[in-house]
A and B are shown apart, each in its own frame.
Chain A
Amino acid sequence: MIADRQMRSENRVVIAHVYTATTAIALGAIFGVFQGFSRAGAVDAPAWFDYYRILTLHGVLMALVFTTFFITGLSLFVTYRAIPRERALTVGWIGWIVMLIGTAMAAVEIVLGNATVLYTFYAPLKASPWFYIGATILVIGTWVVAYEIFENVVYWRKHNPGTPVPLVVFCAAATFVMWVVATLGVVAEMAMLIPWAFGWIPKVNVLLTRLFFWYFGHPLVYFWIMGAYIIWYNIIPKRYGGNVFSDALTRLTFIMLILLSTPVGIHHEFMDPGISSAWKALFTVTTYGVAIPSFITAFAIFASFELAAIKRGHKGFIATVRSLPWNDPAFSGAAYGMLLFILGGFGGLVNASYSMDAVVHNTIWVVGHFHVTVGGPVALTFLGAAYWMIPRLTGRALWKPEWALMQTRLWFVGMLVMSFAMHFAGLLGAPRRTSDVSYHGAAVAAAWQPYMIAAAAGGLLLFLAILLFVAVAVGTLLQNRKTESMEVEFAVPALSAETTPGALQHLFRWGAVALVLAVLVYAGPIAELVHAPGYSVAGMRTW
Chain B
Amino acid sequence: MHVHKYERAWLIFGLAMLAVFLCLLAVAAVSNDIVPPSGMQQIDPSTVARTPPFDKPGLRRLPDGSYEAYYVAQVFSFNPAVLTVPVGAKVTFYVTSTDVVHGFFVPHTDINMMVIPGWVNTETHVFRTPGEYLLICHEYCGIGHQNMFGKIEVTKV
A interface residues (Cβ-Cβ under 8 A, vs B)? 50-52, 55, 116, 118, 122, 124-125, 206-207, 210, 246, 248-249, 252, 269-277, 280-281, 284-285, 288-289, 291-292, 295-296, 299-300, 303, 349, 353-355, 357-359, 361-363, 428-437, 439, 442-445, 495, 498, 500-501, 504, 532, 534-540, 542-543
Does the CB pair A353–B25 fall under 8 Å?
A: yes
A246 CA to B4 CA, complexed, in Å: 10
A249 CA to B133 CA, complexed, in Å: 52
Does the CB pair A206–B36 fall under 8 Å?
A: no
Which B residue's beta carbon lies closest to that of A543?
B143
Does the CB pair A443–B132 fall under 8 Å?
A: yes
Does the CB pair B118–A276 fall under 8 Å?
A: no
List residues of chain A with CB within 8 A of the CB of B21.
288, 349, 353
List residues of chain B with CB within 8 A of the CB of A431.
103, 105, 136, 138
Which B residue's beta carbon lies closest to that of A538?
B46
Q: Known contacts A50-B143, A285-B22; is A273 also within 8 Å of B14 by CB?
A: no
A247 CA to B9 CA, complexed, in Å: 19
Closest 10 pairs (CB-CB, A-B): A429-B107, A542-B142, A273-B39, A535-B118, A431-B138, A273-B119, A534-B118, A273-B121, A295-B14, A543-B143
Report A369 CB to chain B, min CB distance, Å. 15
Does the CB pair A273–B40 fall under 8 Å?
A: yes
Does the CB pair B146–A206 fall under 8 Å?
A: no
Does the CB pair B28–A355 fall under 8 Å?
A: yes
List residues of chain A with CB within 8 A of the CB of B120.
273
Report B99 CB to chain A, min CB distance, Å. 6
Does the CB pair B112–A535 fall under 8 Å?
A: no
Complex interface bits, B15-31 against A, C-beta within 8 A gives 1, otherwise 0: 10010011001101100
Asked if B3 is at the interface of the complex by the 8 Å CB criterion, the answer is yes
A270 CA to B39 CA, complexed, in Å: 11
Which A residue's beta carbon lies closest to that of B11?
A295
- B99 contacts which of A292, A443, A542 (Cβ < 8 Å)? A542
A500 CA to B1 CA, complexed, in Å: 7
The size of the chain B interface, using a CB distance under 8 A, is: 62
Q: Known contacts A206-B117, A273-B121, A433-B139; is A444 also within 8 Å of B134 by CB?
A: yes
- A271 contacts which of B1, B26, B113 (Cβ < 8 Å)? B113
Does the CB pair A537–B118 fall under 8 Å?
A: yes
Asked if B156 is at the interface of the complex by the 8 Å CB criterion, the answer is no
Does the CB pair A125–B100 fall under 8 Å?
A: yes
- Known contacts A122-B101, A429-B105, A445-B134; can you find 15 more A-B pairs with CB under 8 A? A116-B143, A124-B100, A206-B116, A288-B22, A299-B10, A303-B4, A353-B21, A363-B105, A434-B138, A439-B136, A444-B107, A534-B118, A534-B119, A540-B99, A543-B142
Which A residue's beta carbon lies closest to that of B74?
A542
Does the CB pair B114–A272 fall under 8 Å?
A: yes
Does the CB pair B101–A355 fall under 8 Å?
A: no
List residues of chain A with CB within 8 A of the CB of B118.
206-207, 274, 534-537
Asked if B43 is at the interface of the complex by the 8 Å CB criterion, the answer is yes
List residues of chain B with CB within 8 A of the CB of A300.
7
A300 CA to B6 CA, complexed, in Å: 11
- A284 contacts which of B22, B139, B145 (Cβ < 8 Å)? B22
Asked if B55 is at the interface of the complex by the 8 Å CB criterion, the answer is no
Does the CB pair B40–A276 fall under 8 Å?
A: yes
